Amino acid sequence: MRLVTTDRIDDAEIITGDVVFAVAVSGANIVRDMREAIVNTIGGHMTRYENLLDQTIARALEALKSRAAAQGYDGVLGVRLSHPMITNGAVEVVATGTGFRYAAKP
């Protein structure tokens, strides 16, 4: 499964399809929220939230691949991620793009 951020692929002829999307939401816990709030107040590196964001983005991209494959696509063009938000104890990431099929299998 090929995911690209560009709107075209130069090395193969493709047929574009429909929009493909996936959502990943991860919950933070109250202890992590309190620790990160303190770090945010005094300044510093919020590594716990960075790790949570990394994991959530990876899950969103894997879900995008799975949905594209289930719809019979060989990949997704123009992959975009929503601005990850940490809100109300959760992290939400939305991944979108346009499904495509190779005109002739490589």
| pLDDT tens digits, 58-68 | 999 999 999 99
Which pLDDT score, from 0 to 100, does residue 101 have? Answer: 97
| Count of domains for the chain | 1
Q: What are the distances in angstroms from CA 50 to CA 1, 3, 38, 47, 77? A: 26, 23, 15, 5, 26
Question: Would you say the pTM of this structure is higher than 0.85?
Answer: no
- CATH number of the domain within which 11 lies: 3.30.110.70
Per-residue model confidence as pLDDT tens digits over 5-49: 999 999 899 999 999 999 998 876 655 565 556 655 566 666 777
